[in-house]
RNA sequence: GCCGGGAUGGCGAAAUUGGCAGACGCAGCGGACUUAAAAUCCGCAGGGGCCAAAAGCCCUGUGGGGGUUCGAUUCCCCCUCCCGGCACCA
């Protein structure tokens, strides 16, 4: 093998550095570092290598991995994510698809500002430096990306289109301003992100300063306008994990119910009503229980509370305490377990159905941001209301009885609270006797006809607040003019550039507000002085549509060309961590629907198939600096090579499960790669061998068995790619093929035993079959271990580009077993085995089984009741 | 508390989901090669018992308990523990 000699020569310098290696003239260890560097250099010289084809007649395939935040270095989760995507991209190339496999950088965000303060480096410089480092890591790992389409979200040629989209949202009435709460640290005098608020509610930099809530005017996108469609279309996403669809369904949280107005009792309000008005709007899904309402409960932050507490410092103080309890529970994430507290306001409201006067309470378990922030409390038919009523001795009134198929049970008093939805009304005036479903409809209609309510649908989903009081993000392209008010930046003036050389401190509010040349501008309407918006956009804006930009990454006139996007979309396979199951994936879906309504695209959904991979953990815990269990990809690549790191991340667990990283495991993979390499080196195929598949009739039983294994392996690997993506079993199958081939070749006269040097005469493996096995091994390995695969491909004299070489096909007839070993069970217990021809009938198998000594002794003295034969699998004889 | 996902040898896992439990790999043990080691190759290996040992045979075993079935890791009911998500959603 001439290539072998050449490559030996290139390692001379390395050998001189390690003298003991000189003795290893016959050392056949695989030098992964040398081979990988060689190919990496070659690949990077050809920028067109992984480029998607334009105007291709092939079928398209868009495979995408979630783009990383350029934190400075890849972690093992990235390696796993990209190894999955890269294997798929390579497999699809080999199957003749026009593959789009791009990569980019989600490069705006908080860490760049933190780094700027710590290292006194401008965010842009820090970010672009990290991108360069991580890109080099990706190239070293051998990921096949079309870098000509690279998207970097922090650059103006990308974020100008964020601004463009924002103006489109504004034009369509889907972007609006409203007051909203932010975390405010009085020491820093600035807004904090949630992650900058410690668990005890204090500032991350001032651990004894309590974070306050402040109201600021902020921009919102009206995602709720699409709530119904976002929910409905989840049913169409059959290529998504059911888990993610369920999570999104719950997140959108549609519920049908009724709005009912409870008027405050005027007699109690002789002073008149406050700014919040004279009635409390309540949302309920169970208007049928309204005759059982014995109080109205307000969220502590409900506008009415301010009216009721004005001039009542005692009440005000109690309310403030409820607010504090609620906030604490929310921050700790256990709002579901809050210890229920409430306070009676001293006022009453009127139930519009029975004109009953019921007390108005304020309670810490009522949330302002769901429904109307007020409920009617029906203790007999709601768990939480029941618990609250028991605690404060409020009346509990039964108004629903169970309906049962068993007449005995119907009309008996149920255990309280009785929350089933299919009951019958009692004590409910004219509605008594109706079933719940009918009553809900009839009572909603009655409320609507009488002007005190209506049937309605509410969502848990809230509008998307996109304003951030930070520097490193897309400037929101809006102006504030004294004369004309809020004025959008004209589209021809985009992009609104993020100024450079801004001093980043964490104090004093939004950094852009301190740059006069940014803030001060002129109004495009009146020419008078105007102020720019100084908030920037949430980085989820960037990631909501970046995958469209990949299709046309250098378009200077539009976010992308519609025709080009139409060709590539929807994304055929999207791969990423399950932590993005809600926010990123719901915003992306929203953005797609908005773009469709603008006429930019014609798909309703961005992603056809979604795959959520498991986490990479170490010693049973998530990798983190504080635990000291971080595994660095660079170190793994330096020690074992990129192929080994990639292969191990696919082999150690099925990709949807968590992966517990073990260094000893990757050593095993390194051994396997060396074994593959040695198999080729020890079994060179003579030049004229070719790789025509030998016919089975020409083969000895031993050779035939190797051929069978070969075709079975192709089938297993192919099936797993088509189906469930259990790459761990794909790789096991390839290992088995190699083991089998090694065993057979060791017995073949073609080769000497590498250890003993003996020639062992055994079964002849014809070189045609050997060539077939070697060629197929390379092809099967190509998606998983591209470096070694390319090296071996070249070493067997192939000149075609392995990247586009056709994926091997298996022959079902050659894969079929000729003989089967059928386990024989007596009463379900294994008692023997018989070897039969693959096409044997049940009768002959039974005869063979009954002739077996062990079976004979097991059935002695009993009689056969029946036999069950599962073709090709098992024979069970049932005795009596 | 709710929703979702899990639990299989010393470890990661497999059994394409009613049909031989533990493929493949790690760690381990024994052997070959070597002055020795590394590397490599071959073999053993769920647990327990019968047995001096081996061969062989038997019992038992997929978080726990029950059920359906000729047969259950797989289906049904109950329970325990672990991971992820969350919003007491009216």
**CA angle at A97 for the pair A95 and A101, rounded to the nearest 5°:** 110
What is the per-residue pLDDT across A13-61, written as a single tens digit (0 to 9) for each? Answer: 333 333 333 333 345 679 999 999 999 999 999 989 999 998 889 999 9
Report pLDDT for A308.
84
- Measured from Cα to the C1' atom, the residue closest to B57 is A854
Q: Any atom of strand B under 7 A from CB of A373?
A: yes
Report pLDDT for A293.
93
How many whole angstroms separate alpha carbon A745 and alpha carbon A730? 23
Locate all alpha helices (DSSP H) within A51-122, ordered by sequence.
76-94, 110-119
Report pLDDT for A781.
97
Q: A459 pLDDT band (50/70/90 cuts)?
A: confident
Report pLDDT for A380.
87
Report pLDDT for A566.
96
Report pLDDT for A23.
38
Q: Any atom of strand B under 7 A from CB of A743?
A: yes
Local structure of A191: helix, strand or coil: strand
Report pLDDT for A365.
84
Residue with tokens 């406050």: A274
| Number of residues assigned to chain A | 880
Burial class (CB in 10 A: 0-12, 13-18, 19+), A271: exposed
How many whole angstroms separate alpha carbon A826 and alpha carbon A824? 7
A746 has pLDDT over 90: no
How many whole angstroms separate alpha carbon A65 and alpha carbon A78? 9
- A719 vs A132, A167, A730, A738, CA distance in Å? 38, 48, 9, 19
Cβ atoms of A770 and A796 within 8 Å: the answer is no
A766 has pLDDT over 70: yes
How many whole angstroms separate alpha carbon A717 and alpha carbon A396? 64
Cβ atoms of A342 and A388 within 8 Å: the answer is yes
- State phi, psi for A545 to the nearest 5 degrees: -140, 10
- State phi, psi for A625 to the nearest 5 degrees: -60, -40
How many whole angstroms separate alpha carbon A159 and alpha carbon A473? 9
A303 has pLDDT over 90: no
Give the closest nucleotide to A866 (alpha carbon vs C1').
Answer: B70
Q: Tell me, in Å, how far CA of A653 is from C1' of B8?
A: 14
What is the per-residue pLDDT across A265-294, written as a single tens digit (0 to 9) for each? Answer: 876 555 667 777 788 999 998 899 999 999
Q: DSSP assignment, residue A472?
A: S
Q: Any atom of strand B under 7 A from CB of A408?
A: no
Highest mean pLDDT among A678-687, A765-774, A854-863: A765-774
How many whole angstroms separate alpha carbon A811 and alpha carbon A570? 34
Between A198 and A208, whose confidence is greater?
A208
Report pLDDT for A21.
38
Which tokens is A236 given?
């169409």
Residue with tokens 């790669």: A673
Report pLDDT for A751.
45
Highest mean pLDDT among A38-42, A699-703, A747-751: A38-42
Between A424 and A690, whose confidence is greater?
A424
Q: In what order do the strands lie in the sheet with A621-622?
A: A621-622, A616-618, A659-660
Q: Tell me, in Å, how far CA of A655 is from C1' of B59?
A: 38
Which tokens is A711 given?
């075709």
Locate all alpha helices (DSSP H) within A47-144, ordered by sequence.
76-94, 110-119, 123-141
How many whole angstroms separate alpha carbon A354 and alpha carbon A377? 15
- Measured from Cα to the C1' atom, the residue closest to B33 is A755
Which tokens is A456 given?
């309605």
- State phi, psi for A250 to the nearest 5 degrees: -65, -35
Q: Please choose, from the candidates A236, A161, A231, A64, the residue with its C-alpha nearest in 3D space to the C-alpha of residue A586.
A: A231
Report pLDDT for A542.
93
Report pLDDT for A724.
83
pLDDT above 70 coverage of chain A, percent: 88
A570 has pLDDT over 90: yes
- State phi, psi for A817 to the nearest 5 degrees: -70, 145
A336 has pLDDT over 70: no
Cβ atoms of A152 and A124 within 8 Å: the answer is no
Give the closest nucleotide to A731 (alpha carbon vs C1').
Answer: B24
Residue with tokens 């401190």: A505
Q: Tell me, in Å, how far CA of A407 is from C1' of B32?
A: 82
Section A762-780 average pLDDT: 86
Report pLDDT for A860.
75
What is the per-residue pLDDT across A153-185, written as a single tens digit (0 to 9) for each? Answer: 999 999 999 999 999 999 999 999 988 777 777
Q: Please choose, from the candidates A413, A404, A166, A445, the residue with its C-alpha nearest in 3D space to the C-alpha of residue A287.
A: A445
How many whole angstroms separate alpha carbon A756 and alpha carbon A759? 9
Section A557-562 average pLDDT: 97
Cβ atoms of A678 and A28 within 8 Å: the answer is yes
Section A663-691 average pLDDT: 84
Q: Please choose, from the candidates A253, A36, A28, A32, the residue with its C-alpha nearest in 3D space to the C-alpha of residue A139.
A: A36
- Measured from Cα to the C1' atom, the residue closest to B6 is A657
Cβ atoms of A271 and A351 within 8 Å: the answer is no
A653 has pLDDT over 80: yes
Q: Please choose, from the candidates A562, A552, A584, A557, the residue with its C-alpha nearest in 3D space to the C-alpha of residue A164.
A: A557
How many whole angstroms separate alpha carbon A552 and alpha carbon A321? 55
Long-range contacts of A244-249 (CB under 8 A, 24+ apart): A244/A578, A244/A581, A244/A585, A244/A610, A244/A612, A247/A581, A247/A582, A248/A581, A248/A582, A248/A585, A248/A586
| Nucleotides of B strand lying within 7 Å of any protein CB atom | 1-5, 11-16, 19-21, 23-27, 32-33, 39-42, 57-59, 70-72, 83-90
Q: What is the mean pLDDT of chain A?
A: 85
Local structure of A209: helix, strand or coil: coil
From residues 612-671 of A, list those within 7 angstroms of strand B by Cβ.
622, 651-654, 657-660, 662, 664-665, 667-669, 671
How many whole angstroms separate alpha carbon A769 and alpha carbon A690? 9
**CA angle at A826 for the pair A821 and A831, rounded to the nearest 5°:** 50
- CB-based burial, A16-31: b 16+ in 10 Å, e otherwise: eeeeeeeeeeeeeebb
Q: Any atom of strand B under 7 A from CB of A456?
A: no
Q: A456 pLDDT band (50/70/90 cuts)?
A: confident
Section A613-628 average pLDDT: 73
A231 has pLDDT over 50: yes
Cβ atoms of A185 and A207 within 8 Å: the answer is no
- Our separate counts of H helices and E strands in chain A read 27, 32
Report pLDDT for A183.
77
Q: Any atom of strand B under 7 A from CB of A854?
A: yes
- CB-based burial, A484-509: b 16+ in 10 Å, e otherwise: eeebbbeeeebbbebeeebebebeee
Locate all alpha helices (DSSP H) within A747-863, ordered by sequence.
767-781, 786-795, 812-815, 842-851, 853-859
Q: A432 pLDDT band (50/70/90 cuts)?
A: very high
Q: Please choose, from the candidates A493, A545, A540, A542, the residue with its C-alpha nearest in 3D space to the C-alpha of residue A155.
A: A542
- Measured from Cα to the C1' atom, the residue closest to B83 is A658
How many whole angstroms separate alpha carbon A371 and alpha carbon A367? 8
Report pLDDT for A508.
64
Report pLDDT for A253.
83
- CB-based burial, A405-424: b 16+ in 10 Å, e otherwise: eeeeeeeeebeebbbeeebb
Q: Any atom of strand B under 7 A from CB of A391?
A: no
How many whole angstroms separate alpha carbon A381 and alpha carbon A771? 75
Cβ neighbours of A246 (radius 10 Å)? 12
Who contacts A609 (Cβ-Cβ below 8 Å, separation ≥6)? Answer: A239, A240, A572, A573, A574
Sign of CA dihedral A539, A541, A546, A547: positive
Identify the helix (H) or strand (E) that includes residue A749: none
Which tokens is A440 given?
């809900």
Report pLDDT for A387.
81
How many whole angstroms separate alpha carbon A378 and alpha carbon A398? 9
What is the per-residue pLDDT across A860-878, written as a single tens digit (0 to 9) for each? Answer: 777 888 888 888 888 898 8
Report pLDDT for A332.
55
How many whole angstroms separate alpha carbon A75 and alpha carbon A777? 30
Report pLDDT for A844.
86
Q: Which of A539-548, A571-580, A662-671, A759-768 has the lowest mean pLDDT?
A: A759-768
Give the distance from CA A757 to its chain's centroid: 53
Give the closest nucleotide to A388 (alpha carbon vs C1').
Answer: B88
Between A189 and A592, whose confidence is greater?
A592
Q: A462 pLDDT band (50/70/90 cuts)?
A: confident
Report pLDDT for A761.
44
Who contacts A77 (Cβ-Cβ below 8 Å, separation ≥6)? Answer: A577, A615, A616
Local structure of A221: helix, strand or coil: strand
How many whole angstroms separate alpha carbon A497 and alpha carbon A502? 12
Report pLDDT for A690.
57
β-strands A374-377, A175-185: how paired?
A: unpaired
Report pLDDT for A215.
80
Q: Please choose, from the candidates A421, A417, A413, A419, the residue with its C-alpha nearest in 3D space to the C-alpha of residue A440.
A: A421
Q: A607 pLDDT band (50/70/90 cuts)?
A: very high
Residue with tokens 């035993």: A753
């Amino acid at each position: 093998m001439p290539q072998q000699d050449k490559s030996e020569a290139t390692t001379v310098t390395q050998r001189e550095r390690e003298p003991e290696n000189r003795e290893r003239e016959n050392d056949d260890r695989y030098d992964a570092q040398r081979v990988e560097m060689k190919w990496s250099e070659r690949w990077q010289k050809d920028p067109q290598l992984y480029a998607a084809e334009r105007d291709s007649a092939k079928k398209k395939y868009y495979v995408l991995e979630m783009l990383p935040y350029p934190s400075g270095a890849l972690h093992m989760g990235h390696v796993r994510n990209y190894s999955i995507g890269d294997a798929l991209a390579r497999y699809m190339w080999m199957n003749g698809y026009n593959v789009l496999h791009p990569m980019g950088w989600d490069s705006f965000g908080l860490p760049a500002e933190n780094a700027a303060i710590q290292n006194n480096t401008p965010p842009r410089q820090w970010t672009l430096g990290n991108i360069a480092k991580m890109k080099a890591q990706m190239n070293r790992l051998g990921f096949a990306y079309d870098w000509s389409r690279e998207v970097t979200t922090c650059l103006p040629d990308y974020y100008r289109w964020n601004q463009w989209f924002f103006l489109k949202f504004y034009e369509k009435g889907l972007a609006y301003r409203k007051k909203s709460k932010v975390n405010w640290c009085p020491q820093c005098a600035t807004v904090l992100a949630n992650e900058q608020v410690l668990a005890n509610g204090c500032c991350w930099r001032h651990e004894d300063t309590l974070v306050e809530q402040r109201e600021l005017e902020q921009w919102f996108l009206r995602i709720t306008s699409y709530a119904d469609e976002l929910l409905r279309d989840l049913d169409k996403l059959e290529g998504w994990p059911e888990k993610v669809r369920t999570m999104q369904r719950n997140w959108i949280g549609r519920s049908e119910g009724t709005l009912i107005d409870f008027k405050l009792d005027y007699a109690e309000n002789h002073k008149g009503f406050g700014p919040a008005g004279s009635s409390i709007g309540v949302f309920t899904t169970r208007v049928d229980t309204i005759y059982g309402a014995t109080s109205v409960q307000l969220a502590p932050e409900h506008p009415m509370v301010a009216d009721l507490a004005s001039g009542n410092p005692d009440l005000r103080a109690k309310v403030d305490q409820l607010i504090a309890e609620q906030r604490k529970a929310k921050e700790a994430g256990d709002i579901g377990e809050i210890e229920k507290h409430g306070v009676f306001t001293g006022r009453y409201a009127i139930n519009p159905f029975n004109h009953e006067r019921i007390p108005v309470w304020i309670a810490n378990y009522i949330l302002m941001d769901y429904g109307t922030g007020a409920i009617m409390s029906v203790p007999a038919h709601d768990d939480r209301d029941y618990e609250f009523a028991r605690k404060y001795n409020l009346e509990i009134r039964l108004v629903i009885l169970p309906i049962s198929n068993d007449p005995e049970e119907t009309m008996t008093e149920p255990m309280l609270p009785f929350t089933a939805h299919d009951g019958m009304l009692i004590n409910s005036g004219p509605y008594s006797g109706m079933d719940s479903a009918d009553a809900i409809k009839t009572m909603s209609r009655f409320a609507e006809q009488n002007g005190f309510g209506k049937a309605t649908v509410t969502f848990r989903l809230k509008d998307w607040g996109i304003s951030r009081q930070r520097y490193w993000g897309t400037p929101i392209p809006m102006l504030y003019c004294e004369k004309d008010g809020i004025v959008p930046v004209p589209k021809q003036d985009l992009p609104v550039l993020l100024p450079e050389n801004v001093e980043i401190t964490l104090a004093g509010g939004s950094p852009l507000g301190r740059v006069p040349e940014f803030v001060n501008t002129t109004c495009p309407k009146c020419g008078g002085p105007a102020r720019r918006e100084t908030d920037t956009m949430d980085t989820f804006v960037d990631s909501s549509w970046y995958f469209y930009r990949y299709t046309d990454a250098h378009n200077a006139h539009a976010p992308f060309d519609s025709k080009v996007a139409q060709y590539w979309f929807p994304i055929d396979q999207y791969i990423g961590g399950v932590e993005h199951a809600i926010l990123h994936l719901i915003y992306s879906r929203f953005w797609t629907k908005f773009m469709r309504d603008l006429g930019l695209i014609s798909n309703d959904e961005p992603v056809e198939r979604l795959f959520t991979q498991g986490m990479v953990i170490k010693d049973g815990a998530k990798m983190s600096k504080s635990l000291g269990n971080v595994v660095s990809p660079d170190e793994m690549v330096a020690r074992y090579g990129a192929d080994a790191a990639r292969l191990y991340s696919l082999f150690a667990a099925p990709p949807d499960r968590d992966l517990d990283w073990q260094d000893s495991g990757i050593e095993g993979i390194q051994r396997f790669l060396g074994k593959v390499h040695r198999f080729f080196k020890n079994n060179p195929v003579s030049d004229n061998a070719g790789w025509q598949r030998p016919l089975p009739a020409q083969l000895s039983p031993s050779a035939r068995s190797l051929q069978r294994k070969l075709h079975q392996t192709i089938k297993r690997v192919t099936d797993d790619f088509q189906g469930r993506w259990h790459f761990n079993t794909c790789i096991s199958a390839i290992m088995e093929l190699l083991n089998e081939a090694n065993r057979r070749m060791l017995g073949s006269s073609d080769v000497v035993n590498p250890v003993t040097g003996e020639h062992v005469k055994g079964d002849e493996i014809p070189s045609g079959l050997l060539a077939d096995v070697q060629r197929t091994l390379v092809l099967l390995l190509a998606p998983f271990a591209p470096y070694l695969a390319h090296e071996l491909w070249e070493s067997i004299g192939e000149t075609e580009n392995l990247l586009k070489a056709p994926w091997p096909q298996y022959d079902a007839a050659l894969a079929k077993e000729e003989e089967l070993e059928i386990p024989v069970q007596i009463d379900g217990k294994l008692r023997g085995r018989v070897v039969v021809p693959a096409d044997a009938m049940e009768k002959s198998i039974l005869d063979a089984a009954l002739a077996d000594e062990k079976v004979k002794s097991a059935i002695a003295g009993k009689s056969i009741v029946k036999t069950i034969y599962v073709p090709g699998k098992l024979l069970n004889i049932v005795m009596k």
